[in-house]
Structures are given as C-alpha cells and as structure tokens.
A and B are shown apart, each in its own frame.
Chain A
Amino acid sequence: MKWEVVIGLETHVQLKTNSKIFSSSSTRYGALPNTQANEVDMALPGSLPVLNRQAVAHAIRLGLAIGAEIAPRSVFARKNYFYPDLPKNYQISQYEIPVVLGGSINCLVGDEMRSFALTRAHLEEDAGKSLHDNFVGPDGKPCSGIDLNRAGTPLLEIVSEPDMRSATEAVAYAKALHALVTWLGICDGNMQEGSFRIDANVSVRPEGQTEFGTRTETKNVNSFRFLERAILFEVQRQIELIEDGGTVVQETRLYDADRDETRSMRSKEDAHDYRYFPDPDLPPLVIDAAWIEEVRADMPELPGQMRDRFVTEMGLTPTDAAQLCQDPALAQYFEAVAKQLPAEQGKLAANWLMGEMSAALNRDDIGLDDAPIKPDHLAKLLTRIIDGTVSNKIARDVFAHMWSTDDKDADAVIEAKGLKQISDSGAIGAMVDEVIANHDSIVQEYRAGKQKAFNSLVGQVMKLAKGKANPAQVNELLKSRLDG
C-alpha cells in the first residue's frame, strides 16, 4: 500500500524582548539560576502580571509579514496544571482568541515555490526549568532544583495547518519560518538555547484517503536535522505499526537524538483537563489600527519581497535569491556589493558570497558581521574581474590575501603583488608561440584530434604567465595559431 504523510508543525518562538512577557525581569540567557526571577515570576502572593507591549509588537510584526489577520481584540487565558517549574501552576496563554490568525509561509522546496498555510499564532509565557542532573540541595544531598530565569519569557506559538506531505517540506517550512523570525528581529533564532522549538504533528494515511490518520505529536526537536530524522522515524514507525495490524495511538512523543528515535511521553488518556478560562488579571488585548501602522512603519523589507527584487532587478535565479534571503545579514551584504556592480553582474556577487565568502566564514567559524572583508572591499575586487584586470582565479588569491591581512584594497593588492592580468595580445602571443615551440608532442596529439591536449597547452601558457594571462585571449590566440 502507498502511504501519504501529513505533517503540521507547532513552533515555539522565543521573542527577543528585554524583559519578560508579564514582568520586568530580564530575559537574558545564561544567568545564574533564579537571579532573573522577580515576585511575578516566582508567583509570590499578591503579585500580578502586566503585559509587555514589546512582545505584542513582535507578534504584530510576524502577523504583517505572513499576511495574517491581527485580532483587534484577543484574550489571555489561564491553562491550569500543576508542575513545579510552573510557579503559578497555570500558564498564561491565548486560547480561544489568538493575536494572529491565518497567514502563510512561502518557501522553496527544491526548485519549486510553495505556500504553507498557518492556523494561528498566539502569545504565551514560557515555564521555568527543572534541574535533575548533578543538582545538590542545601543539605548536600542530590535533589531536583528549579530555575525560574526562563519562567515568563515571551513565546509566540506559531501553528501551521497540516499542509506538509514530507519531511523535506516540513524542514523547508521550518527553515523559512526560522529565517523569517530572525529576519524580522523578533527572535534570536538560537536553537541550541531553545529560542526556536518545534513540535511535529505527524500522521499517515493510505494514498487517496481524505480523512486524516491518527496523529502523534513529537516534542523536543531542536535542530532541522533532528526534525527531519524525527519525522522520518515517526512515519516509518506508524506505517510499520499499521501494516502489522496495529493502530496509531494519539500521544505525545519525545525525540531522543542520541538514539535517533521517538518514544511515548504520555497518551491522550493521560491528557490534562487544563480548565482554560479568561485570565481575570489581564484585560483583553486591544490592538488598534494605529498600533499596527506604527509596527508596519518600522518593518524591514521582507525576505519574499527582497527575493523577488533580486530576481527581477539583479538577474538572480530564484534559488540563489532564496538562498541569499534566508539570512538578513547575507541579503544586505549581497545588496551592498551588487549595487556597486553593473546590473547584470548580480550573479557574480551571489556566486562569490555563497562560494568564497561562505567557505571562508565556515573555515574561521565566524558570522558575516565579523567578516574581515566588507561589502565595499568585495565590490572593488569583483569590479576588477568584470573589467578584466584579474581572472576569477587570481581574484581568489587576492581575496585570500585581503581576508588574512590588513590590506583591504583590491587594487593595491593586485598592484603590489603584480597580479594584474596580462591582456596584451603581443605578450600573450609570444608566450603561446613559446609553448607551441617547446611542446611539439602535445601539439601533435592535438592535431591528431585529442581535444584534451588543447587544455594542456592552455595550462602551459598560464604557467608561463604565472596565471596572469587573460584566459579568453590565451584560448583565442592558441586556437588561431594551432588551427591557422
């Protein structure tokens, strides 16, 4: 039987705000336990939550970016359950009326542009953390500890429709969403620190069946690679289960990266009755048109808009444009370089960024912001390729020199190292003649019809020219002398 996979993702995006969603405590990551928890975060008697408007502005920002409806009036509810790292023993979240409704994420899957619909996005607070490993209590004995630094960190839970049909699509969606929230500046995107956490709802059904199969929810997926593996594992598990005559149980599962498997956390039967009701401590969240316009005025150009512009104005392929637009820093860098080049040379800039630049960044393990070569430096180097001063190959040497030294001016490097391309046809002609004279056997091979021999002769000329001869001219002159 052929199976169809159905996937929906719920993503918890930690919003980049200075203070928590309902208290004035700092949200900085990595502080000593419980040093960033005030009376609200600790749920001391008499404390009350007050909504952080920055978190709301971030939600509006996302809503505008995905073409969603921003609810003019949304409601915070209490989700009641007892857990020691949840100090109030209820989580403040949005339940019936979320702040963002609908919208979609557009992204490339392979070479095809796809659109995945979103159900909603709602604001809520994060819980604290339970510390079980290597934790010692005041009496010196091992015990569990609670760190409330994370408690109350603002989250935007973004829920997709069950629109994805493969792990590849799910990963493409997740990457695009990750790129978008970091692009918008509403999330730092740090998956290791839990700033972007994905839960995958996965089910399978026989191809052609319209109703959904029973789904499982896999939690704790903190990288795109794990997302893919968790889905693949879960799909395989469900198919094998059904084919062996079993049935899938609706449950929450945990992905274990060490074992590369998902395993059951709790079934639906164990599910809490959360007793949601509107939080009487918080009036409904009212967002008027003025607030939306204020956020809109402050929005950066969206990756989709920029991608389209790169294709139409700079002649990039949709794939290259999409790749550049995954990261706002990369896209901005590209634009800063490309606008100093002739319009048709966008492709050259894109190739250099995704090739040489990307390799150098990876090698040194640094981000684009820390790259020693700035857009103006690179633009000048590329200009010298375009005007024929240096070949692409020589330019790579210049780039390497600029990268590792304080010499950032391409012209000065070319001049100082004598790398200027030889485009004088007299000089090149002389070298061609010398090579033909000295490599008679190769010339014979070429004349006998071996095309490879021609490349060998080109190589000899370039060797003689120390790589500086204009390759096109070498080709042309060599061909005319041999064939002429």
Chain B
Amino acid sequence: MSRFLDDFPTIAAYRAGLDQGQFSVTQATDALLSDIQTHRALNAFVDTDAKRSLAQATEAQAQLATEQSHLLTGVPLAHKDIFVTEGWRTTAGSRMLANYVSPFDATVVAALNKAGTVSLGKVSCDEFAMGSGNEHALTGPVLNPWDHDVVPGGSSGGSAAAVAARLVLGATGTDTGGSVRQPAALCGICGIKPTYGVASRFGMIAYASSLDQAGVMATNADDLALLLDAISGYDSRDATSVQTCHGAANAPGRILGEYNALGQQYAGDKPLAGLRIGIPKEYFGDGLNTDVARVIEAALTQFEALGATRVEISLPNTAYAIPAYYVIAPAEASSNLARFDGVRYGHRTNQYNDLQDMTERSRAEGFGDEVRKRIMIGTYVLSHGYYDAYYLQAQRVRRLIAQGFQTAFADQCDVIMGPVSPTVAPAIGSVSNDATAEWLGDIYTLSVNLAGLPGLSIPCGFAPGHKGQDLPVGLQLIGNYFDEGRLLAVAKQFQQVTDWHERRPGVAA
C-alpha cells in the first residue's frame, strides 16, 4: 500500500507539489490522516483530531497565497505529547495527565502553527520523557517501523516512528539526555537538539529543566534546518532562553542563514576540506557493538572522502556522564513533578482520608514505575546530608565534562563525531526491565546535554538486530555552542553523496 509521502519525501518536494497544484493542503492532510489510520499498529499517535487538522489545513492553504506564507506553510507535522497544545490533550505519556488539556500552546508549537504547519496529532513518548525505548508510555509501547519487534527509541519514540513511517514530514521532540537523537538513530531518520537556550522551553512539560531542550526530527538535513530555524528564538517567557548567539540575535533566520551560507561555501569534490572531525576515543570503547562500530567507521571514511580530516580526541569524563546525569536529572525531576498533586488538575484518587493521603495516593496511582523511581532518586540526592555528596558532586562533574568539550573545540577539532547509541534498536521488553542496561545505552548522548551543546543524529547505515535483521544506525555530530547551522551543513554534504536518509522501512501495516 503506498503512502502519500512516498511521492513527496521532503519538504521541498511536498511544497513543489503544492505550488504546482498537484494537491491541496486539505487533500494532503486527508491522505495523511488516512495513512496514520492504516499504520495505527505502530501506536505512534496518541491523539488525532481530523477536524482540527483540516481546519489548520484550510488556513494553511489560504496562507500560501499571502505574504505570511512561510517555507513550512502546509507542511504536515506531529508534536511530541510533552508539548502542551491548546485544544489537543497533552498527557506526557502519563496517567497523571490522561485527560489534561492546556489553555495555551507551547512556544515551539505556536511558532510552527504561525508558520502555517498542519498538526496531524500528538505522538507518544515515554512518561514525562523518562525512558529510552518509548516503553514507559501510558498508551503502551510504540513499534519501530523497521521491525515491529524492536523499540523505536525514546523518549521521543512516537515522533521518530511517525517520521520514519512517512506519516508526517517532521515532528517535534525533546532531548534531555538523548531523547531526540537516539530515537532518530534507531528509526533511521535525522534529529537535532540545538544549544541549550536556543529553543524556548515554555510549554514543554519539564523533566529536568537544566537539560531539557526542544528539537526536531525529519528525514534529511534540509528539512531539519527549516524546522529548527522556525522553532528557534529568544522567548521572554523562558528565563533560560538566550537572547544572542555569538552576537547574532537568537531568532528565526540565524540557523537557516548559516546553513545556506555554508552550503554555498562547501563546493567542489572536497567540499569539507579543512574541516577537522574530532573522534573521541571514549566513544569507541568496549560497550560499542562491533557491527555498529563498523558502520560508523564507514561513515567517517565517507567524510574523509569529502575532504575532512580525522583527529583522535579524548573526552576523559565521558564515563561519569551517566552517574552525573542520573543524579542531576532525577533531582530536578523530583521537584518539577511535585506540582502533580491532584489538587488543581490531573489525576486525583477516588478514595482518601485526608489531604496528605489524597496527594500521596494520587501520585502513586498517577505515575508509572520509571517516573516514581526517578522521583525517589531525586528526592534522595537532594536530602539533607546527601546533597553535597551527590548533587554538588554531580554538578562538578558536569562542569568538567563541559570543559572537556571546550578543550577539544579550542584547538583540536571543529566538529565531533561518533555513534549515537552503542547498539541498534533492542527488542521490545528486553531492556526496559533492566534499568542499568537502559541507562547505559545513553552514554554517548548524555554529555551533550550536560554541556548544553547542539547534537545531531543522521542515518549512516544498517547493522544486524537481535534476529539478524537490518536495523538503522545513527551517526552523531556534536558542535560547539550555536553551531547548529554548521552541523546541518556538514550533514547535508554527507547526504549529497549517500542515500541512507532516503531508505525507508517497508510499507507493511
């Protein structure tokens, strides 16, 4: 069965189809809603609302003919269910918010709405974005379009699966410890998390405030650049959003401008001549699956063919990223999630004796295991007598990790590359019951969040999964602060000489 986006696989192709009158936004929206129904077994969408989507489509169609028309006008997207959306339910994958409807849109969603994109629905995620396989979700596991027995990655698993299955052209995600890059890698698509502070966190249900950052997912670098540019910008409602990026205003146009300028600059048969790629030796250690290592190595060789040079670097504190992250993130989460108490909104238990009992039962019933575990860890590490040993120590490690990157970027390399995940997507149920295994899988992505750097994942090949089947492998590109445009431009060069990003899973429903 063919899918609508099989014929229009990129934003440019889709817009060309629109502009040439091959279809209207409404027709596309109708067709895509039908594709979503056909592929509902993936369990990627938690909420669709044809009426709302079609209303947006009508508006977009009208916008196309006006001066407000944007490169993204009419483009079908899906939003991670951690972004609050006016009108659509926002559950954060939790029973706690099973029926919650926000009175306002997240800034990121509002920006994309303003650009004229059409939302086809909310997509599944791990509960409060805590998880790496999208198995800790209220609506059950999301399936990987490449193989329904394996996870799509997490926590933005619904976003990744929807894009990989070509049900939408792009999706929003959030990345606290790899939640955009890792599912992108495991589903064979592209995903980018910008520098901390580039995109607003307003309306993103907070997991770990100092690490959370919105990101976008799509099939190729061009589309990512368009989407990321649209969601970037200073927001006066988020005190941690940045006003300037190396002197340039943090506003739409900055990332796309740099991306396009570098695209012009990267020319000839060695377009990346002069680019120094740092290869952290710690990213190629024992934990890395050998098949994945082989695929990554081939991709790096490809970059050398494009003119780039490889430099071995060291990020000596990489191993400590896991303990540091799993102290800081739960600490912040334990406090961020305190507001879910059954008093003003969200799940409230049916029977209780008094106020404290009401709050305790509501929380015990409303939160799943992984969330409860992290709240308990966070509460513990912030407790009197443990704070210095855990929280403060983790903050010190965090600073060292950030310094390690700065040392590398200062005089050794321009961009860092390595794997996103040590393995391809594991079988559903194989890691979610083993916390340590699930957490260790984040080793290559956590440091980027701890340092606040931009990180990109692009598909670069396939490696055998648990049954020997071919599953996607992602290459991670890490840039210095505000280097989003450059990361994407470098990825674009790779995608011009390879076709990994064009590979798509079979269409079997």
Contacts and interface: CB of A to CB of B under 8 A. Distances in A.
B379 A275 contact: yes
A84 B343 contact: yes
Contacts of B387: 275, 277
B391 interface: yes
Interface string B361-374: 00000000000000
Given A88-B338, A89-B338, A280-B210, A45 B383 contact: no
A80 B343 contact: no
A48 interface: yes
A172 B444 CA distance: 62
B484 interface: no
B239 interface: yes
A49 B239 contact: yes
B223 interface: no
Contact of A280 (B92, B209, B339): B209
Given A84-B341, A275-B382, A280-B208, A45 B237 contact: no
Q: Taking chain B's interface residues, is the majority helix, strand, or loop, or is none over half, making it mixed? A: loop
Contacts of B391: 277
**Interface size class of chain A, counting residues whose CB lies under 8 Å from the partner chain:** 20 to 34
Nearest to B84: A46
Contact of B106 (A46, A78, A276): A46
B29 to A, nearest CB: 26
Contact of B102 (A44, A51, A146): A44
Interface in B176-225: 201-206, 208-210
A275 B344 contact: no
B236 interface: yes
Interface residues of B, number: 43
A258 interface: no
A46 B203 contact: yes
A80 B338 contact: yes
A90 interface: yes
A247 to B, nearest CB: 24
B335 A277 contact: yes
A226 B343 CA distance: 35
A146 B384 CA distance: 30
Contacts of B331: 277
Interface string B222-261: 0000000000000011111000000000000000000000
Contacts of B202: 46-48
Nearest to B328: A280
A273 interface: yes
Interface string A91-131: 00000000000000000000000000000000000000000
A341 interface: no
A403 to B, nearest CB: 52
Contacts of B97: 45
A146 B343 contact: yes
Nearest to B378: A275
B320 interface: no
Contacts of A51: 239
Given A46-B102, A49-B239, A89 B209 contact: no
Contacts of B209: 280-281
Interface in A193-238: none
Contact of B384 (A90, A273, A282): A273
A89 B379 CA distance: 13
A24 to B, nearest CB: 9
B103 interface: yes
A323 to B, nearest CB: 44
Nearest to A51: B239
A468 B106 CA distance: 80
Contacts of A43: 339, 344
B23 interface: no
A146 B355 CA distance: 13
A175 to B, nearest CB: 37
A277 B380 CA distance: 13
Residue in A273, A275, A276, A283 with the greatest tally of chain B CB atoms within 10 Å:
A275
A397 interface: no
A283 B239 contact: yes
Given A45-B100, A45-B205, A82-B338, A277 B239 contact: no
Contact of B339 (A88, A277, A281, A282): A88
Nearest to A85: B343
B132 interface: no
Interface string A235-277: 0000000000000000000000000000000000000010111
A87 interface: yes
B382 A42 contact: no
Residue in B100, B201, B206 with the greatest tally of chain A CB atoms within 10 Å:
B206
Nearest to A78: B335
Interface string B334-350: 11001101011100000
B341 A82 contact: yes
Nearest to A271: B384
A49 B202 CA distance: 10
Nearest to B92: A45
Residue in A48, A89, A276, A281 with the greatest tally of chain B CB atoms within 10 Å:
A48
B47 to A, nearest CB: 16
Contact of A275 (B104, B210, B383): B383
A78 B335 CA distance: 8
A34 to B, nearest CB: 10
B239 A87 contact: no
Contacts of A49: 239
A275 B335 contact: yes
B214 to A, nearest CB: 11
A50 interface: yes
B359 interface: yes
A84 B355 contact: yes
A258 to B, nearest CB: 26
A39 interface: yes
Contacts of B92: 45
Contacts of A45: 84, 90, 92, 97, 100, 102, 205, 339, 345
Contacts of B339: 43, 45, 87-89
A146 B341 CA distance: 14
Contacts of B237: 48, 50
Contacts of A87: 339, 343-344
A88 B204 CA distance: 16
A275 B332 CA distance: 11
A35 to B, nearest CB: 15
B239 A282 contact: yes
Interface string B454-490: 0000000000000000000000000000000000000
A55 to B, nearest CB: 14
Contact of B335 (A42, A47, A90, A273): A90
Interface in B382-413: 382-384, 387, 391
Contacts of A50: 236-239
A283 B206 CA distance: 16
A281 B84 CA distance: 18
A42 B344 contact: yes
Contacts of A275: 334-335, 379, 382-384, 387
A281 B379 CA distance: 18
Contacts of A280: 208-210, 240, 332
Interface in A30-69: 39, 42-51
Contacts of A88: 338-339
Interface string B91-122: 01000010010111010000000000000000
Interface of A: 39, 42-51, 78, 80, 82, 84, 87-90, 146, 273, 275-277, 280-283
Given A51-B239, A275-B387, A281-B240, 13 more contacts: A43-B339, A45-B100, A46-B90, A46-B204, A48-B202, A48-B206, A80-B382, A82-B359, A89-B341, A146-B344, A277-B331, A280-B240, A281-B239
Closest 3 pairs (CB-CB, A-B)? A89-B338, A280-B210, A280-B209
23 contacts: A39-B104, A45-B84, A45-B102, A45-B345, A46-B83, A46-B90, A48-B237, A49-B239, A50-B236, A50-B238, A87-B344, A88-B338, A89-B339, A275-B335, A275-B384, A275-B387, A277-B387, A280-B209, A280-B210, A280-B332, A281-B239, A281-B240, A282-B240
